Amino acid sequence: MVSCSWSTKYIPLPVIVSLVVAGDNGDSSASLSETREAQREALLTTGWWTDQIPSSNTSKWQHCNWRGIYCSKVGEVLSIDLRLIELYTWGELGKLNFTSFPNLQTLDLSGCDLNGSIPYQIGTLLKLNHLSLSGNYLKGKLPSSLGNLTQLQFLDVSDNQLSGFIPLELGNLSNLVSLYLQSNMFTGSIPWELGNLSNLVYLYLGQNQLRGSVPSSLGFMIKLNHLDLNFNQLNGSLPFQQANLTQLTKLEVSSNALTGSIPVMSSCNNLRYLDLSNNSLSGHIPEELGDCSSLEVVRLNNNNLTGSIPHRLRCLLLLTHLDLISNNFSGAIPPTKNPYQNHNCDNQGNSELTSHRKKPVLHVLYIVLPITIGISLLLLAFVFFVQHHPTAIQNKIHVSNGDTDMFSVWNFDGNVAYNDIIRATNNFDSKYCIGTGGYGSVYEARLPSGKTVALKKLHHWEAEDPASDRSFRNEVHVLSNIRHKNIVKLYGFCLHNRCMFLIYEYMKNGSLFCALRNEAHAVELDWSKRVNIVKGTAHALSYMHHDCTPPIVHRDISSNNILLNSEMEAFVADFGASRFLDPNSSNQTMVAGTCGYIAPELACTMVVTEKCDVYSFGVVALEIMMGNHPGDFISSFTTCKSTQNSMLNDILDRRLPRPTRGQELDIILVLKQAFACLHSNPKCRPSMISISQEFSQTPKMLAADSIYTTSIKQVC
């Protein structure tokens, strides 16, 4: 736990609480009055008061002037939100007198270094609709009194040290939409009563010590979208055969002790992500899985599955990742209709599926080989030799992007495909070079089919550099395992000691960095396009952090590494520095990234987390709105200087015309999220999934909100 002594920079929670409680009750007792004047000078220097602070004898509502405290017109505290305030509370949650806030609707103390237990009295906040205590050091049991908060829509106590049983009284929260209990030490079974939460959309119970079977009641939560039961000790079979999970898009039950067969889900048209890996499931893969038409990722590895791989999986046109490692399948892998799939189909006890894996040189990703190529080509991510390895196979293989051929490979020796690239770039002539990145140069290549691709090529001296070679291989490893509409597509790569290059989707408008610094392009990037670029980047990072297992941290989010297509849509690129987060490791690393975008804690801790990307995203979001890198602004913003008293329009790019009313609301939302991402305490930064969800909703602002009347201080 981070601790600090009393200073003018950090105000402990008990001081805030004492003032708030006094103000809300109208109490001006001598003990509080005596301490108030002694603290007044220190409080004034923090910048957390408004410019005009009423004296104690003229107003009893001073608490309403505190940053993070929001009141009604008559001084009733409606919201306490301290998650974005640079505040080390070093106190117990129990010191907050909950009975003093009968009208409280929002209580957010996430990432505030709270310790102690959650007091039973929290159940008296009957008007509460949002409760977040995540990212603290809370211990003990989750009080059953939470079941009294029937207005609650959002409950997050994740990333604490809570233990004991999950109270069955949570089943009373009929209005609950989001329930986050993951990353604690809860034991016992999952309460059957949670199935009563008919409005629940997000249920996260992963990374606990839950035992017993999965209650069948969860299968009838008709609005459930995400279900996370990963990394527990659950056993028995999955009771979803007759489930009515029509809205479910993500089902994660990996790393448990589940047995039985894979359930046949009768209504899975919206299911995109299915992870049943690392269990003891047996039996066949059900043919009906091929009816789940929205599936993009399927992980069934490390089970005891048998039989053949169903041919109906070939109908999953959106499938990009299928992992079947460490099972006991027999027979051949069926061909598929999707040219972009990346399959991992090694299987214990089946040499027929694992015997052809040597001499990989030039890979083309996400493709499927015709059945006529034979058993030797059953890996789906096929390999062909750049030079010296001609074969006798005479099939023509098309590598497609939608309905348009990217290029054709003849005779499966790779010579034609390789030569196509050499001819298209005149052996990587400098006139085809369109940029130089952290490693390698980027070339534009128009292939015989008419398809234009981008090639990132390592120079000879870079290929001999171990760091560049590692970055190259790391980018291949990461991009061949992920796929998202806002992440640049990797079509293939060549790995040879004389020639190493990557084949990417071509981005007509280059990098965001260059677009913002070119007057014509900057004007073309109007407010709507800029907001969409921020949103697209957020969605991509949310996918990497929360939809990938293990999570992926980019480590070098900057305007140089966000590319723009012909429609000015954003694509995250350059994954050479990225890494998978290991839950069993400290994730300590050397500092990587671009100067001006690196999270400040990296220099001290050398530990990489998702919150490093969150900070970098905040810098990029500000850069997009301001039109240039916000270096000096960030410095003044984080030190609470006079910049915070400026209006929002003062920092916006002046090359663009005045935004419309709808654009203003979007801009305010972007700036609010950007400021939150720049918090010096990584625990107080929002997650990318919460940012992505905010951007997916229509901004809810007061009619009076405007970039011309709203100060930076009000937003941050």
431-475 tens-digit pLDDT: 888 877 656 788 898 888 788 888 888 766 666 666 667 777 777
Residue 399's pLDDT band, with cuts at 50, 70 and 90, is very low
526 is catalytic: no
Buried-state track 609-646, b at ≥16 Cβ within 10 A, e below 16: bbbbbbbbbbbbbbbbbbbebbeebbeebbebeebbee
Would you say residue 415 has pLDDT above 70?
A: no
Would you say residue 188 has pLDDT above 80?
A: yes
Residue 55's pLDDT band, with cuts at 50, 70 and 90, is very low
**DSSP character string of 675-711:** HHHT-SSGGGSPPHHHHHHHHTS-----TT--TTT-B
Instruction: Specify the pLDDT at position 460.
Output: 62
710: CB partners within 8 A, 6+ apart: 647, 648, 668
CA separation for the pair 38, 57 (Å, rounded): 16
pLDDT tens, residue by residue, 665-679: 899 999 999 999 998
Q: Which one-letter DSSP state was computed for residue 558?
A: S
Q: How high is the mean pLDDT of the chain?
A: 75
Helix/strand/coil (H/E/C) assignment for every residue in 71-95 = ECCCCCEEEEECCCCCCCCCCEHHH
Residues belonging to the binding site for ATP are: 456
Residues belonging to the binding site are: 456
Q: Given the residues 275, 413, 556, 574, select the one marked as catalytic.
A: 556
Instruction: Specify the pLDDT at position 708.
Output: 82
CA separation for the pair 402, 491 (Å, rounded): 12
For 253-379, strand residue ranges (E) read 257-258, 273-275, 282-283, 297-299, 304-307, 321-323, 328-329, 342-344, 362-364
Handedness of CA 354, 356, 359, 365 (dihedral sign): negative
In 10 A of CB 595, how many CB atoms?
7
pLDDT tens, residue by residue, 609-634: 899 999 999 999 999 999 999 887 88
Would you say residue 347 has pLDDT above 60?
A: no
Would you say residue 588 has pLDDT above 70?
A: no
CA separation for the pair 541, 573 (Å, rounded): 11
CA separation for the pair 178, 541 (Å, rounded): 21
Dihedral in degrees, nearest 10, Cα atoms 306, 311, 312, 314: 120
Q: Give me the sheet containing 139-140, strands edge to edge.
A: 139-140, 161-165, 185-187
- Could you tell me if 298 and 323 are in contact, meaning their C-beta atoms sit under 8 angstroms apart? yes
Residue 637's pLDDT band, with cuts at 50, 70 and 90, is low
CA separation for the pair 39, 33 (Å, rounded): 10
Stretch among 260-264, 433-437, 560-564, 679-683 having the lowest mean pLDDT: 433-437
* Alpha helices in 425-484, H assignment, sequence order: 460-463, 466-479
Long-range contacts of the stretch 42-45 (C-beta < 8 A, 24+): 42/7, 42/8, 42/11, 43/11, 45/8
